[in-house]
Amino acid sequence: MADLLDGLKPTLLMGPGPSCVFDETYAALAKPTIGHLDPYFIKIMDAVKADLQTIIGTKNRLTIPMSGTGSAGMETAFVNFTEPGDRVLILTNGVFGKRMQDVAGRLGARVDALEFEWGTPVVPEAVEKQLEQGPYSIVAVVHAETSTGVENPVQAIGDLVKPTGALYLVDCVTSLGGIPVTMDAWGADLLYSGTQKCLSCPPGLAPVSASGQALEKLKNRKSKVPNWYLDLSMIMNYWEGNSRAYHHTAPINMVYALYASLRCIMAEGLEAAFARHRAMHRKLAQGLGELGLSMYVREECRLPMLNAVTIPESVDDAGVRSRLLKEYGIEIGSGLGPLAGKIWRIGLMGHTARPANVDRLLAALAACMK
């Protein structure tokens, strides 16, 4: 019987995730598996924590990769720091704000959602007014809204949240590694991300960081964390200290992979990586303009790594995406929710954000749109 893996062909990943993976990361995945309590593996764990602290911009001692994708990071943030009856404010302008509402609601929180038009950023003045309706236990926002390509003003929001005493939660799944993330400067108490976007690592881990204020809330919960697998009060004993306590078997080779990806980013330098993402965004936007295509999001709040492109009415959305994949080996994303059929989502994340990849996509798009 033919091996299905033999039929795999390389795809240029230019959608909303996953992104292209560093060669060094693929090599790391193939390294020998050792025990999750092996002293050498613990050295790798500590190195991963240190690099994550640098890239996240935090001194939080609890800065670790959770087992699971970015959505596991979201679940971790809410399940550990939300209790039934807590008032939670979710600032929503896309799919992932909606998902936050769902997760918090399932935990019995009283959720207030402050909604903004998809494709536009959260407005701090509206947040300030809503905070007067508090107090809130958590205020949550998505830094880089993957469904629309919008960057939200997380610093300005953090300045408003901090005086209220609420925990400030920021989703950095798409932003981490692509644009500056400065958790401590933002005044954020909780942050989560994923490995498969600008970190250019396969999906499977979710970096999470929690402030001292957040850990105090965890310590003083009235009830147990309702999810055993994501319970940070136990998991932190595996990731910290001289005597590591077994919780669950870590995805060892995925931790190798994250270590390698973080090393690649650190070797390039964060500022250089951010500049590369901005340069590739400009190159893409110029090329799309020459094809008669326009960006959906205003320039001042546009993400460089997730580009929302308006689909002309005369163009077959699904047909173009299908041809790109089948004939050119390139994947781009469709619109979600109210933007379905209206935009393409083109990812320039991490290792994908290279001139040759942008040129290849533009040439393929030109052919498909004729």
- State the average pLDDT over residues 286-303: 97
What is the per-residue pLDDT for 7? 87
114 and 134 assigned to the same domain = yes
The whole-angstrom separation of Cα 91 and Cα 127 is 8
Please determine, for residue 65, whether its predicted confidence score (pLDDT) is greater than 50: yes
- Spatial CB neighbours of 33, under 8 Å, sequence gap ≥ 6: 252, 253
Are 190 and 321 members of one domain? no
Find how far residue 102's CA is from the centre of its chain: 18
67 and 176 in a single domain? The answer is yes
b vs e for 13-34, b when ≥16 Cβ sit within 10 Å of the residue's Cβ?
A: bbbbbbbbbbebbeebeeeeee
Q: Please say if the pLDDT value at position 62 is more than 50.
A: yes
pLDDT per residue over 202-214, tens digit each?
999 999 999 999 9
* Residue 222 shares a structural domain with residue 334: no
Which of 227, 249, 266 corresponds to the end of one domain?
266
CATH for 325: 3.90.1150.10
The enclosing H or E element of 286 equals: helix 270-290
Q: Which domain holds residue 14?
A: 4-18+270-368
Does residue 102 sit in the same domain as residue 247? Answer: yes
Q: Which residue has the higher pLDDT, 145 or 1?
A: 145
Residue-level pLDDT at 242: 84
If one counts the domains in the chain, the total is: 2
CATH of residue 256's domain is: 3.40.640.10
236 and 352 co-located in one domain? no
H or E element, residue 265: helix 252-268
122 and 225 both lie in a single domain? yes
pLDDT of res. 315: 94
Flag whether pLDDT at 243 surpasses 90. Answer: no
Provide the H-helix boundaries in 144-251. Answer: 154-161, 183-186, 212-219, 232-239
In the structure, what pLDDT confidence band is assigned to residue 2 with cuts at 50, 70 and 90? low
> pLDDT tens, 4-21?
889 899 999 999 999 999
The answer, yes or no, to whether residue 53 has pLDDT greater than 70, is yes
For the entire predicted model, the pTM comes to 0.96
Segment 60-79 mean pLDDT: 97
pLDDT at 266: 98
Phi-psi group of 57: left, alpha or beta (phi > 0 → left; psi -120 to 50 → alpha; rest → beta): left
CA atoms within 13 A on the CB side of 306: 29
Fill in the amino acid letter for 354. Answer: R
Residue 276 shares a structural domain with residue 219: no
Q: Which long-range contacts link 153-159 to residues 24+ away (Cβ below 8 Å)?
A: 153/121, 153/122, 153/124, 154/186, 154/188, 155/182, 155/185, 155/186, 156/124, 157/91, 157/122, 157/124, 157/127, 158/186, 158/187, 158/188, 159/187
pLDDT of residue 277: 98
- Together in a domain, 98 and 159: yes
Residues 32 and 155 placed together within one structural domain of the fold: yes
Task: Choose the final residue of a domain: 266, 284, 313.
Answer: 266
Average confidence (pLDDT) over 122-139: 97
Confidence of residue 1 (pLDDT cuts 50, 70, 90): very low
98/228 Cα distance (integer angstroms): 24
Q: Among 266, 288, 304, where does a domain finish? A: 266
Tell me the pLDDT of the chain averaged across its residues. 97
Are 179 and 213 members of one domain? yes
- Asked if residue 211 lies in contact with residue 166, where contact means CB atoms within 8 angstroms, the answer is no
